[in-house]
């Protein structure tokens, strides 16, 4: 279950599970839109995938992409432990920016991103292609360890130092979301910040 997925993450290191509040928000969003098809960028060891699967419709399929095959093996175990049939998920190993172009346009209800922060702006571009109208994209770590503030999503660097590449990429993402007239955004102050946006029709 969720505890098992967290234990797996602790064993392998290098992956941080979503906070319980973030997971609950993901489950709520998936349930609210009746998600049947969801893309997850960054499988980790299965914690966020379990939350998403719990919110999705019965029979819905989670497509999860991760560059680390070992993580996906542990995620598969976590999904089995949580009682999900193998038909409910497909795990694709590889770099997200190489895998996502192979997925169908407009075929997904939700895209959740929790992987390489420096690729977040590119994930948004990919998500807009993958999502149906009314679909939702969500990014974890949008507050990025309190380096971002939600009023204008401007960068806050306490010591005045130049932004590191991850912080700069998260800031660029927030600016992209704000500027795109196709999106209705909302920054949820759960976990380390969950930036969500609805893709409008037209």
Task: Provide the whole-model pTM.
Answer: 0.88
Domain positions in the chain? 2-199
Quote the CA–CA distance of 11 and 53 in Å, as a whole number.
Answer: 23
Tell the CATH topology of 2-199. Rossmann fold (3.40.50)
Q: Check pLDDT > 70 for residue 150.
A: no
Quote the CA–CA distance of 49 and 47 in Å, as a whole number.
Answer: 5
Quote the CA–CA distance of 195 and 177 in Å, as a whole number.
Answer: 9
Quote the CA–CA distance of 28 and 58 in Å, as a whole number.
Answer: 15
Query: Where residue 1 falls among pLDDT bands split at 50, 70, 90?
Result: low
Quote the CA–CA distance of 28 and 120 in Å, as a whole number.
Answer: 23
Q: Give every CB contact of residue 136 below 8 A, 6+ residues apart in sequence.
A: 29, 33, 109, 110, 111, 196, 197, 198, 199
Would you state the pLDDT for residue 189? Answer: 93
Task: Specify whether the CB–CB gap between 11 and 44 falls below 8 A.
Answer: no
The distance of Cα 119 from the centroid of its chain, to the nearest Å, equals 12
Q: Give every CB contact of residue 5 below 8 A, 6+ residues apart in sequence.
A: 17, 44, 45, 46, 47, 50, 74, 75, 78, 81, 82
Token readout for 50 is: 């379990």
What is the tens place of the pLDDT at every residue in 92-143?
999 999 999 999 999 999 999 999 999 999 999 999 999 999 999 999 999 9
DSSP count for the chain of H helices, then E strands: 7, 7
């Amino acid at each position: 279950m969720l505890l098992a997925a967290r234990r797996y993450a602790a064993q392998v290191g290098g992956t941080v599970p979503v906070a319980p509040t973030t997971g609950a928000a993901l489950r709520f969003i998936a349930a609210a839109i009746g998600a049947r098809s969801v893309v997850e960028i960054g499988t980790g060891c299965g914690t966020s995938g379990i939350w998403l699967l719990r919110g999705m419709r019965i029979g819905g399929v989670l497509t999860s992409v991760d560059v680390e095959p070992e993580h996906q093996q542990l995620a598969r175990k976590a999904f089995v432990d949580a009682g999900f049939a193998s038909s409910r998920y497909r795990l694709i190993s590889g770099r997200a920016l190489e895998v996502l172009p192979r997925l169908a346009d407009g075929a997904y209800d939700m895209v959740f991103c929790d992987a390489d922060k420096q690729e977040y702006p590119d994930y948004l571009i990919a998500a807009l292609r993958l999502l149906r109208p009314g679909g939702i994209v969500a990014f974890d770590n949008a507050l990025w360890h309190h380096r971002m503030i939600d009023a204008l999503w401007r960068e806050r660097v306490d010591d005045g130092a130049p932004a590191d590449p991850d912080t700069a990429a998260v800031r660029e993402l927030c600016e992209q979301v704000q500027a795109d007239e196709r999106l209705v955004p909302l920054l949820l102050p759960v976990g380390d910040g969950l930036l969500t946006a609805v893709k409008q029709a037209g």
